[in-house]
Amino acid sequence: MKPLKALAISLVLAATSALAQENVLNLYSSRHYQTDDALYANFTKATGIKLNRIEAGEDPLIERIRNEGAASPADVLVTVDAGRLWRAEQMGLFQPVESKVLASRLPDNMRNPNNQWFGFSARARVLVYNKSMLKAGEVLNYEDLADPKLKGKVCTRSGGHIYNLSLMSALIEHWGEAKAEAWAKGVVANLARAPRGGDTDQIKAVAAGECAVAISNSYYYVRMMRSENADDRKVIDATALVWPNQKSFGTHMNVSGAGVLKTARNRDAALKYLEYLAGDAAQGYFADGNNEWPVARGAPLNNKALAALGSFKQDTLNISALGKNQALAQKIFDRVGWR
């Protein structure tokens, strides 16, 4: 084969390979909302990149990627809770990316300091109280949950659940270990029942009078606000939502987020997907699919139920801290008996 002909064939093959890489994206996602179908379709329409996705629970997906190792076909991991994203980072699953779009659109606290993963929508960890058992203003802060006046009146899910671990991680960052542990011990002393169930169960327990106040992620409450189910409406009528710590560091925030995997074969497409998620249209789909807030600068809030709750002071702690303090948070919960 003549050298020039061989070179031409080589260039054609290289171009074909690059095109193939550019036009496909393999996404591993723990999100499973109907609005995400439009999110994916619009990405393909805007970029011409075909999107293949595998959906499963958060922890099983992370384990799957780790077990697949270098052979993993996954380009991007999308999951919920900064603590899980941090776990994936600690396993060495992500790679850093540089993007002017992400740097300009996403606030500093929504970006991992090493640019390995990013938050694209936010949820708040709020307090929900029974309006017939507590007066407005009796619970205003996370600290109030440890006040002896609430003995036998607090409900919460397991201390080992990632949502409570992330909250505790934030409190450790703000208060230090000693104060955070004293708080956790006080909460355990005030429990109305042993921790069990999910956040929706806590809200229903509050409405039923089994406890006076509970900790919950905001989207569970908003989901019931938007429900047409009569029982859900009764729960909302019987309860009220509190944005904790408005006069101090603000309400604890967590995220749905994503990162490009170290083994990504379609890196350019993966970066385009993350930049797409930071755009206004995707922010609407990404956030509204689970009643969360868009986080990109200037992104509109189209969810009427969220808008009806009004504005509040959000904790601006960098989301990486929610993972950094996770092991200590678990040790504290174990020591105080928050099972």
Q: What token pair was written down for 323? A: 């993972």
Which CATH number applies to 3-122+255-303? 3.40.190.10
| Structure confidence by residue, pLDDT tens digits, 278-337 | 999 999 998 888 999 999 999 999 999 999 999 999 999 999 999 999 999 999 999 999
pLDDT at 272: 98
As a whole number of angstroms, the distance between CA 43 and CA 279 comes to 11
pLDDT at 32: 81
Q: Which residue has the tokens 């009806």?
A: 308
CATH fold match for the domains 3-122+255-303 and 123-252+322-336: yes
Q: Report the length, in residues, of the chain.
A: 339
| Structure confidence by residue, pLDDT tens digits, 93-130 | 999 999 999 999 999 999 999 999 999 999 999 999 99
Which residue numbers in the chain have pLDDT < 70? 1-22
b or e along 19-50 (b: 16 or more beta carbons within 10 Å of the residue's beta carbon)? eebbebbbbbbbbeeeebeebbeebeeebebe
Report yes or no: 109 and 116 within 8 Å, Cβ to Cβ: no
Q: Which fold has domain 123-252+322-336?
A: D-Maltodextrin-Binding Protein; domain 2 (3.40.190)
As a whole number of angstroms, the distance between CA 15 and CA 12 comes to 5
pLDDT at 306: 94
Contact partners, residue 244, CB within 8 Å, separation at least 6: 125, 126, 127, 140, 141, 142, 251, 252
CA distances from 182 to 127, 139, 162, 169, 185 (A): 19, 18, 20, 14, 5
User: Domains of the chain: which residue ranges?
Assistant: 3-122+255-303, 123-252+322-336
The one-letter code for the residue type at 87 is R
pLDDT at 263: 95
